[in-house]
C-alpha cells in the first residue's frame, strides 16, 4: 500500500524515523537526568554539545533499524539480525564494557563499524573530560558520515523494492 502512495522513499523513511527517534531521544534525556541527579556523575562539558551529538546518534540508531528492515524478509529475522549486528556489538565492541585497546588490531578496526563506539567516546569525553568540539570533531564527523550513508542505502534499497 505504501508502495503505491505518492510519498517518495526518503520522505517515507523519514516519516518512520521521526517518532521512534523522538522516543529514543526522550529516553536519552531521562538517562542523562538519572545519571547526573541520582548517580552524581560529574558533568564537565557543554550540555548543548551533548544534546546535539546525541541527536545525531539517535538518528544513526534509528537509521540502522530502517536499514535492517529493508534487508530481511520476515520480522523475526529482522529482530534477531538487529540483536546480532547492533545490540550485542554495541555492548561488546564499543569500549562500553571491554577496553578497545586490549583487542587484537583487526577487531580494533572492526569496532569502527558500530556507531556506539563513536558515541561512547564522545559522551565520555564531554561528560568526564569536558572537551569541546575541537577535540571531538573526528568522532562527530564519522557519526555524521555514518548517518548519511545509512539513509542513502535505506532509500536506495527501498526504491529497488518498489521497482
Partner 1 sequence: MTRMLACIRKEYLQFSRDWMLLLLIFFLYTAEIIMCTYALSFEVRNLHLAVYDQERTQLSQKLVERFTATEYFGKVFLVDGPREIDALLDAGRADLGLVIPPNFSDQVGKGRAAEVQLILSGVNSNTANAARGYAGAIFAGFSHELMVQSLQQRGIRAKLPEVEPRMLIWYNPELKFRYFMVISMIVLAGFMVGVINTAASLVREKETGTIEQLMVTPLRRHEIVLAKLMPTLSIGLVLLFPSLLIARWFGVPMEGSITLFFLASAVTLIASMGIGIFVSTFARNLQQALLVSFFVLFPVMFLSGTIVPVESMPQFLQYLSLLSPVRYYMEISLGIFLKGVGWDILWPKFAMLFLFGTILFFWSLVRLRRRMYG
Residues in touch with partner 1 (CB under 8 A): 72-77, 79-81, 83-84, 87-88, 92-93, 95, 97-99, 101-104, 107, 110, 121, 124-125, 128-129, 131, 135
Please report how close the Cβ of residue 161 comes to partner 1 at its closest, in angstroms.
16
CA distances from 141 to 95, 135, 155 (A): 19, 11, 21
Smaller CB separation from partner 1, 8 or 138: 138
Smaller CB separation from partner 1, 6 or 42: 42
Please report how close the Cβ of residue 143 comes to partner 1 at its closest, in angstroms.
16
Please report how close the Cβ of residue 144 comes to partner 1 at its closest, in angstroms.
19
Taking the alpha carbons of 9, 71, 148, 26 in that order, is the dihedral positive or negative?
positive
Please report how close the Cβ of residue 6 comes to partner 1 at its closest, in angstroms.
27
Phi then psi for 84, rounded to 5 degrees?
-75, -40
- CA 112/CA 146 separation, integer angstroms: 10
Sorted by sequence, the CB contacts under 8 Å of residue 147 that are 6+ apart come out as 56, 59, 60, 63
Smaller CB separation from partner 1, 88 or 162: 88
- For the record, the C-alpha cell of 128 comes out as 568526564
Smaller CB separation from partner 1, 131 or 150: 131
Amino acid at each position: 500500500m505504501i508502495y503505491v502512495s505518492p510519498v517518495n522513499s526518503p520522505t517515507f523513511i523519514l516519516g518512520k524515523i521521526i517518532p521512534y527517534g523522538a522516543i529514543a531521544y526522550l529516553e536519552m534525556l531521562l538517562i542523562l537526568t538519572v545519571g547526573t541527579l541520582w548517580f552524581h556523575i560529574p558533568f564537565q562539558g557543554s550540555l548543548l554539545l551533548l544534546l546535539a551529538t546525541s541527536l545525531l546518534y539517535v538518528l544513526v540508531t534509528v537509521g540502522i533499524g530502517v536499514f535492517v528492515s529493508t534487508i530481511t524478509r520476515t520480522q523475526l529475522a529482522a529482530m534477531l539480525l538487529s540483536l546480532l549486528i547492533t545490540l550485542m556489538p554495541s555492548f561488546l565492541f564499543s569500549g562500553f564494557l571491554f577496553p578497545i585497546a586490549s583487542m587484537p588490531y583487526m577487531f580494533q578496526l572492526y569496532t569502527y563499524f558500530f556507531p556506539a563506539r563513536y558515541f561512547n567516546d564522545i559522551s565520555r569525553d564531554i561528560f568526564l573530560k569536558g572537551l569541546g568540539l575541537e577535540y571531538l570533531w573526528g568522532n562527530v564527523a564519522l557519526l555524521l558520515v555514518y548517518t548519511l550513508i545509512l539513509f542513502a542505502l535505506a532509500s536506495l534499497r527501498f526504491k529497488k523494492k518498489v521497482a
